[in-house]
Chains A and B, each alone.
Chain A
Amino acid sequence: SQTIHQWPATLVQPVGSPLSLECTVEGTSNPNLYWYRQAAGRGLQLLFYSVGIGQISSEVPQNLSASRPQDRQFILSSKKLLLSDSGFYLCAWSVQQDYNEQFFGPGTRLTVL
């Protein structure tokens, strides 16, 4: 069966510090991968998606970046965090060439102070 891992579960970082969130998927090959952010009480905002190693599409211009160094690894980074980066970050995967049901990881709650 497929599983998706995200870490850390919670993170408190000062403004201006760097960020690295990691997501890995097990039990499937060549998945589509997604990074979302959800502000408190709001819907999901798609940040990045990837259809393959090294292939990243950015949906929203901002101070975040994403990388996919391996087939089942997706990393969200920032060089300098802003207060507005606080939120609930969710990684998700879906089967390529499918109707795109997305499976979500447990999420990382990021607080920037």
Chain B
Amino acid sequence: GQNIDQPTEMTATEGAIVQINCTYQTSGFNGLFWYQQHAGEAPTFLSYNVLDGLEEKGRFSSFLSRSKGYSYLLLKELQMKDSASYLCAGLDSNYQLIWGAGTKLIIKP
């Protein structure tokens, strides 16, 4: 079956760095997405990885290892506005997104 696993909740301190991990099992693989979702709002796109390695975009970076079925989202210089849920989603062979349950990130001052 297809499955996306990520931690339910994480806590970090303002100004620090946090890494949110995601492991995936999909029927075929066409890439890995990360979305951010603030409470009560729609998800917004953060990153897409299809090749192994690190993609950096400002304070956010995303890493993919296809051989390990593993990805992480790295958030640097955390700000209070980064408090949100972070959704990992794998793109299967039919180009359908398989969604994880999301990781709720709590930022403390």
Give residues in A with beta carbon < 8 Å to B: 41-46, 49, 88, 90, 99-107, 109
Give residues in B with beta carbon < 8 Å to A: 30-31, 33, 40-45, 48, 50, 87, 89, 91, 95-97, 99-102, 104
Question: Are B87 and A44 neighbours in the complex by a CB distance under 8 Å?
Answer: yes
Whole-angstrom distance between the Cβ of A9 and the nearest chain B Cβ: 10
Question: Are B43 and A104 neighbours in the complex by a CB distance under 8 Å?
Answer: yes
Find the A residue at minimum CB distance from B100.
Answer: A43
In the bound complex, how far is the Cα of B101 from the Cα of A42, in angstroms? 5
Question: Are B44 and A104 neighbours in the complex by a CB distance under 8 Å?
Answer: yes
Residues of A within 8 A of B95 (CB): 99-100
In the bound complex, how far is the Cα of B85 from the Cα of A94, in angstroms? 22
Whole-angstrom distance between the Cβ of A87 and the nearest chain B Cβ: 12
Residues of B within 8 A of A100 (CB): 30, 91, 95-97
Task: Name the contact of A103 in the complex, choosing from B30, B31, B45, B96 (C-beta under 8 A).
Answer: B45
Whole-angstrom distance between the Cβ of B95 and the nearest chain A Cβ: 5
In the bound complex, how far is the Cα of B99 from the Cα of A101, in angstroms? 13
Question: Are B48 and A99 neighbours in the complex by a CB distance under 8 Å?
Answer: yes
3 shortest interchain CB distances as A-B pairs: A43-B101, A104-B42, A44-B99
Question: Are A43 and B48 neighbours in the complex by a CB distance under 8 Å?
Answer: no
What are 12 A-to-B residue pairs whose CB atoms are below 8 Å? A41-B104, A42-B101, A43-B87, A44-B43, A44-B87, A44-B99, A46-B97, A90-B42, A99-B31, A104-B42, A107-B42, A109-B40
Residues of A within 8 A of B89 (CB): 44
Question: Are B30 and A99 neighbours in the complex by a CB distance under 8 Å?
Answer: yes
Residue from B42, B45, B95, B96 with most neighbouring chain A CB atoms (10 Å): B42
In the bound complex, how far is the Cα of B104 from the Cα of A42, in angstroms? 10
Find the B residue at minimum CB distance from A41.
Answer: B104
